[in-house]
Amino acid sequence: MQPRKEQLPPGIRGLLVRLGRIDRRWIYLAVAVAIGVPMLAELRLPEVPEKKARATFEAIESIPEGSIVLLSFDYDPASEAELEPMANAMVHHCASRGHRIVFMALWPLGKQMADKTIDSVLKYYHPDKVEGVDYVQLGFKTGNEGVIKLLANSIDGAYTTDAAGKAISEIPLLANVRSVGDFKLVASISAGYPGAQQWVQYADSAMPEAFKLIGGTTGVQSSQLLPYFPTQMEGMLIAVKGAAEYETLVTEKYPVTESPERLGIGRERMGPQLVAHLLIIALIVLGNISMLAARGLKGGAR
Amino acid sequence: MLQRTIPMLILSASGLILILAYFSPVTVVWSDTVVAWFNILAGVAFVLGAGNLLAVNLEKISSRRPGWAYAAITLVSFGAMLVVGLGKWGAVPNPAYPDVHLAGDQDSTQSAYGWVYEYVLSPLTATMFAMLAFYVASAAFRAFRAKNIESILLLGTAFIILLAQVAAGAFLTNWIPEGEWYSFLRAERLKEIILNVFQTSGMRAILIGIALGTAATSLRLILGIDRSALSKG
Amino acid sequence: MSAPATKPNDRLLWVSLVVLGLVGLSVGKFFRPEPIAEAYVSVTTEVRTLVEEIPTDDGSTTATPAASATPAASAAAAAAAAPATSLASGEAAGQPADNTKTQPAQPKRIWVDADDPAIELQLKEGTLKRVPDVAQAVWDVRTPIDNRATARAQMAALEKEAEKLSAPTDPTGLTKEQFDQREAARMAALKVVEEKRIVSSTRDSLGIWVAALLTLGILSFLVRDNPFYKVVESILIGVSAAYWMLVAFWSTLVPDLFAKLAPDLVRATMLPGLAPSKDPTQDFLLALIPLGLAIMLLWRLMPKGGWIAVWPLAVVIGTFAGMRLTATIEADFMAQIAAAIKPAAAFTAVPPDEAAIAAAQAAGTVASPGRAFDFGGTLAAILGLIGVITVLIYFFFSLEHKGVVGKTARVGVWFLMITFGAAFGLTVMGRMTLLIGRFEFLFGDWLNVAK
């Protein structure tokens, strides 16, 4: 038996109710247009760095030139869009400051993320940096926080070779590095578990005064990390906005002339981001207006 | 005995060694050894997961359940990737040891393994998560209803954050001068207040609660009060 | 809800999507100068020669830690079968000396870049000697160039340079010596230019096409669940399971387990750079435990006796519980309480006023900065503390939420709503960025319409 056809009110009210029941594929199309059009139009807007990005910048600037820093790439291609800009800017910042970088990863695909940044930023803008002396890629180890726990006591408890198979004892950069406490700064660019939270829990708690800890995080994970700033984490970058602000600070102090777009990815993405946010707000408002319009109808408010 | 008692003793011993190492530096060597075994077992868990996938898909194919063709595709791609990755097919030789094939580097797109990572695994993983953007928009339209004060608070905060995180917030509130008592209404100041005061305190309380829960559960496991973790199934 | 005939509409949707795609691609192909999905690589040729370190006159040598025969020549290198190639763990000398006075030390053999001036000098001086009957190892390294415009510009510049250098030197007005000199310089420069190869990579272009089609396959799920999506999903499951297993194998199992159980075999076949252990026997015996636990864990896949997997599981859970207990109490409990109990009255530093400066000058000291009451900071600290306490009270479910407790819990709920509202805003930001990243790939790397 056919159900009775619902009687919708006439005029604008009926239109609003119908709009509230729109097929979700139209919403998907709206999202695609909201992101595609600003991207093709190359919408760019200036970024004003705020407190957290400044704190992150200061953390790297304040340690002595030539310090050894540890960068942990705790993300995978699923979060690359948010975290690659901050990773690129951080590596350029450390290298420009003369810091020597130790790369590692707690996520299986994190090593590939680090390799991408090394190839596109470190080798490109700083071709004078020598592997083994100015930077080293330790790679990934299974064990999540177990790796951090071992690193807190000794590097060679966790890593016997670097990612290319060279023995740790043969790497000049790590000659005087016994444990994570010997780094002046540890940065975790993280998308979830394991990530910056585990670095706070297992490394920073073990030796709170030994090094500065900064975290670059996705929007989703940032809520979890906010309580750690600024007491346990000295710097924090939240999502692509934090990345864009940090990029502004880094490129202002350490500008590059060739291919500057590698250090501008975050700022590029803020254009489509603006339109997407406005769309979400519009959708929420429209949904609520439709709900109000549908009040009292037999089908009820959805 | 073998299925319950000994595992309980092993669990308690491992846990106690880790806790003891926190208080006594002398026992750190034992705890590091146990953690090193933990890390190796975490690696073996990946192998177990792959083995389980093989078993499930083989069973699906052999019993010809609906959708078994997709299981076959899964197995073929699994097998191809395994062969290519274990044999390091097309790997760039290690400059220090070019005669040792398996010492080569297979992470660049020059090797088959690196090619599959760059052009199959990476885009697929990224796209799977990118789909969430569409679902978030659809959910925002269909489910976010301001029906009571709590939901109004939630939506209002979401609006402020959404606007303040992009240039729109600054555009809307830049006319408010700095240095006045009402300067906190500027978008970036509002965002800082929401994040640093409200969200931080809320998440802090949640973290404290989780920490207490974790500590309680860990103690129950180590003391053998909670045996559910080791029961079959 | 009525059940409309969706099939004709869906078919129309699919057909129009495909037609739109084809039209877009054709327009792109014919109206734009640059091809779709182009990829460039810079190719360099690496050459390594096997040399022997000649011992110095005073008899001090660096003996090899373990001289083991390598397996027969692998496909990648052109090394002929050497009877016994002892593997070094580094290019430079510096191995711990193992002075065995009874036997003569075996000379260390290493692979070096013979074009390196320092190595050339050592070969000339005689401190390094080329090992005869072992062919050089030659291979190409292809490095992707991500900026196409730069790659094309570099390619054009190299082609122009090569064309210029290919023209023979004009001998008019030159002596034979000068002509020979110029020719030699031209040939050397031409060799350098020819070695710098930047080529269009079909392998990577094909890869971009594959990635684009797979991306569209996943996105097709938004229209409707379809076989194309299911196929792509199956490929993802298979490839990612294998990839994760391989990453775990090469990064952890080989160096941390197999290298301790069979160090010589691993050094010969997989990790020639592995440093010798201080106590191989102790390492071997200790490594038997994780090996046993690993076998027990994998036994879970067997039809009988899978219960034994509970033993390694007990190690994992016990270690996890022990690690987490102390870490969360310290970082998430004590440190968070300390951070929450901020001073209720906040002050900011202000420069000293004139009276203070004058008084300090009279006393011969420097005036210290003053303090001003920071209303905003104080309010923030008090609000933060109220937030933590009220939310904790809300989560205390063993107390009935009535009366004072009920009202406090309600305030806690408001704080939580603001927390979750902010979390939602940040989540939306995160998810949108991920989609922006994929669109950048589709429009930029694949279709070449955006930077």
Task: Give per-residue pLDDT as tens, C395-417.
Answer: 998 888 889 999 999 999 999 99
Q: How far is CA C155 from the centre of its chain?
A: 29
- Helix A265-293 × helix A239-253 angle, to 10°: 150
Is the CB of residue C275 less than 8 Å away from at least one CB of chain B?
A: no
Interface of B with C in 100-159 (CB under 8 A): 100-104, 108-110, 113, 115-134, 136, 140, 149-151, 153-159
Residue matched to tokens 């750079």 = C273
- For the cut 50, the answer to whether the pLDDT of residue C73 exceeds it is no
Q: How many CA atoms lie within 13 A of C51 on its CB side?
A: 25
Is the CB of residue C255 less than 8 Å away from at least one CB of chain A?
A: yes
- Helix C310-328 × helix B28-62 angle, to 10°: 130
Interface contact flag, A111 C251, Cβ < 8 Å: yes
How sure is the predictor about C104, in pLDDT bands with cuts at 50, 70 and 90? low
Per-residue pLDDT tens digits for A207-245 = 888 999 999 999 999 999 999 999 999 999 999 999 999
Q: If we measure between CA atoms, which residue out of A166, C134, C79, A161 comes closest to residue B101?
A: C79
Residue matched to tokens 């690193």 = A151
- For the cut 60, the answer to whether the pLDDT of residue C97 exceeds it is no
Interface contact flag, B47 C248, Cβ < 8 Å: yes
Q: Taking residues A265-280, report their average pLDDT.
A: 95
Helix (H, G, I), strand (E, B) or coil at C350: strand
Residue C30's pLDDT is 66
> Are C168 and C186 in a shared domain?
yes
Interface contact flag, C427 A80, Cβ < 8 Å: no
Rounded Cα distance between B139 and B162, Å, is 16
Per cent of chain C over pLDDT 70 is: 84
The Cα of C175 is separated from the nearest Cα of chain A by a number of Å equal to: 41
Asked, for residue B55, whether it belongs to a domain, the answer is yes
- For the cut 70, the answer to whether the pLDDT of residue C90 exceeds it is no
Helix (H, G, I), strand (E, B) or coil at A110: helix
Is the CB of residue A201 less than 8 Å away from at least one CB of chain C?
A: yes
The per-residue pLDDT of chain A, averaged, comes to: 92
Interface contact flag, B109 C144, Cβ < 8 Å: yes
Residue C18's pLDDT is 78
- For C335, phi then psi, to 5°, come to -65, -35
- For the cut 70, the answer to whether the pLDDT of residue C223 exceeds it is yes
Interface contact flag, B32 A157, Cβ < 8 Å: yes
How sure is the predictor about A10, in pLDDT bands with cuts at 50, 70 and 90? confident
Residue C3's pLDDT is 44
Residue C32's pLDDT is 66
Interface of B with C in 194-233 (CB under 8 A): 194-212, 214-215, 217-219, 221-222, 229-230, 232
Greater confidence (C26 vs B64) lies with B64
**CA dist A270 to A49, A238, A295, B166, Å?**
14, 13, 38, 7
> Are C331 and C359 in a shared domain?
no
Asked, for residue C69, whether it belongs to a domain, the answer is yes
Asked, for residue B196, whether it belongs to a domain, the answer is yes
Asked, for residue B106, whether it belongs to a domain, the answer is no
Give me the residue from C214, C415, C437 closest to B130, CB to CB: C437
How sure is the predictor about C38, in pLDDT bands with cuts at 50, 70 and 90? confident
Last-in-domain residue among B45, B66, B87: B66
Residues of A with CB below 8 A from B125's CB? 76-78, 109
Residue C192's pLDDT is 80
What ranges make up the beta strands (E) of C80-136? 109-112, 128-130
Amino acid at C129: K
Q: How many domains does chain B have?
A: 2
pTM: 0.88
Interface of C with A in 56-85 (CB under 8 A): none
* Residue A158, both tokens: 């966790």
How sure is the predictor about C4, in pLDDT bands with cuts at 50, 70 and 90? very low
Query: From the CA atom positions of chain C, what is the Rg in Å?
Result: 35
Asked, for residue B111, whether it belongs to a domain, the answer is no
Per cent of chain A over pLDDT 70 is: 96
Sites in chain B below the pLDDT cut of 50? 233
Q: Taking residues A295-301, report their average pLDDT.
A: 62
Contact C342, C385 (CB under 8 A): yes
Rounded Cα distance between C182 and B48, Å, is 66
| Domain enclosing residue B56, as ranges | 1-66
Give chains near B: 3+ CB pairs under 8 A. A, C
Rounded Cα distance between A248 and C237, Å, is 39
Contact A39, C447 (CB under 8 A): no
Please report, to the nearest 10 degrees, the dihedral formed by the alpha carbons of residues C326, C327, C332, C333 taken in order: 20
- For the cut 80, the answer to whether the pLDDT of residue C10 exceeds it is no
Residue C68's pLDDT is 35
Per-residue pLDDT tens digits for B157-170 = 999 999 999 999 99
Interface contact flag, B99 C46, Cβ < 8 Å: no
How sure is the predictor about C66, in pLDDT bands with cuts at 50, 70 and 90? very low
Asked, for residue B125, whether it belongs to a domain, the answer is no
Residue C29's pLDDT is 65
- Of C24-33, C129-138, C331-340, least confident by mean pLDDT is C24-33
Greater confidence (C181 vs C77) lies with C181
- For the cut 80, the answer to whether the pLDDT of residue A8 exceeds it is no
Is the CB of residue B215 less than 8 Å away from at least one CB of chain A?
A: no
Asked, for residue C246, whether it belongs to a domain, the answer is yes
Last-in-domain residue among B66, B87, B113: B66
Instruction: Say whether the peptide bond before residue A230 is cis (omega within 30 degrees of 0).
Output: yes
Q: How many domains does chain C have?
A: 5
Query: Which chain C residue shows the shortest CA-CA distance from A227?
Result: C336
Residue C33's pLDDT is 64
Q: Taking residues C165-174, report their average pLDDT.
A: 85
The Cα of A224 is separated from the nearest Cα of chain B by a number of Å equal to: 7
Asked, for residue C11, whether it belongs to a domain, the answer is no
Interface contact flag, A77 B126, Cβ < 8 Å: yes
Last-in-domain residue among B50, B66, B82: B66
Residue C31's pLDDT is 65
Interface contact flag, A142 B126, Cβ < 8 Å: no
Q: Taking residues A186-205, report their average pLDDT.
A: 96
Q: Are strands C40-53 and A185-190 parallel, antiparallel or unpaired?
A: unpaired
Interface contact flag, B200 A277, Cβ < 8 Å: no
Residue A15's pLDDT is 86
Query: Which chain A residue shows the shortest CA-CA distance from C10?
Result: A25
The Cα of B179 is separated from the nearest Cα of chain C by a number of Å equal to: 12
Query: Which chain B residue shows the shortest CA-CA distance from C305?
Result: B3
- Of B51-55, C146-150, C329-333, C407-411, least confident by mean pLDDT is C146-150
Q: How far is CA B19 from the centre of its chain?
A: 25
Give chains near A: 3+ CB pairs under 8 A. B, C
Rounded Cα distance between B171 and C166, Å, is 60
Rounded Cα distance between A36 and A33, Å, is 5
Residue C62's pLDDT is 42
The Cα of C356 is separated from the nearest Cα of chain A by a number of Å equal to: 32
Rounded Cα distance between C53 and C94, Å, is 12
Residues 6+ apart with CB under 8 A from B37: C289, C290, C293, C315, C319
Interface contact flag, B100 C268, Cβ < 8 Å: yes
Q: Taking residues C37-46, report their average pLDDT.
A: 89
Q: How many residues does chain B have?
A: 233
Residue C196's pLDDT is 79
Architecture of domain A51-263: 3-Layer(aba) Sandwich (3.40)
Last-in-domain residue among C157, C172, C200: C200
Interface contact flag, C437 A143, Cβ < 8 Å: no
* Residue A283, both tokens: 């959708």
- For the cut 80, the answer to whether the pLDDT of residue A9 exceeds it is no
End-to-end CA, chain A: 24
Residue A298's pLDDT is 60
> Are C191 and C236 in a shared domain?
no
Query: Which chain C residue shows the shortest CA-CA distance from B110?
Result: C142
* Residue C432, both tokens: 């949108």
Q: If we measure between CA atoms, which residue out of A117, B107, A159, A192 comes closest to residue C247?
A: B107
The per-residue pLDDT of chain C, averaged, comes to: 83
Residue C108's pLDDT is 85
Segment (H or E) for C23: helix C6-31
Helix (H, G, I), strand (E, B) or coil at C365: coil
Sign, CA dihedral C96-C98-C104-C109, equals negative
- For the cut 60, the answer to whether the pLDDT of residue A26 exceeds it is yes
Asked, for residue C183, whether it belongs to a domain, the answer is yes
Interface contact flag, A277 B196, Cβ < 8 Å: no
Contact A79, C434 (CB under 8 A): yes
Asked, for residue B96, whether it belongs to a domain, the answer is no
- Give the domain ranges of chain A: 12-42+269-293, 51-263
How sure is the predictor about C7, in pLDDT bands with cuts at 50, 70 and 90? low
Interface contact flag, B10 C311, Cβ < 8 Å: yes
Interface contact flag, C310 B230, Cβ < 8 Å: yes
- Helix C403-440 × helix B149-164 angle, to 10°: 40
Sign, CA dihedral A185-A189-A192-A193, equals negative
Per cent of chain C over pLDDT 90 is: 44
| Domain enclosing residue C192, as ranges | 145-200
Residues of B with CB below 8 A from A180's CB? none
Is the CB of residue B207 less than 8 Å away from at least one CB of chain A?
A: yes
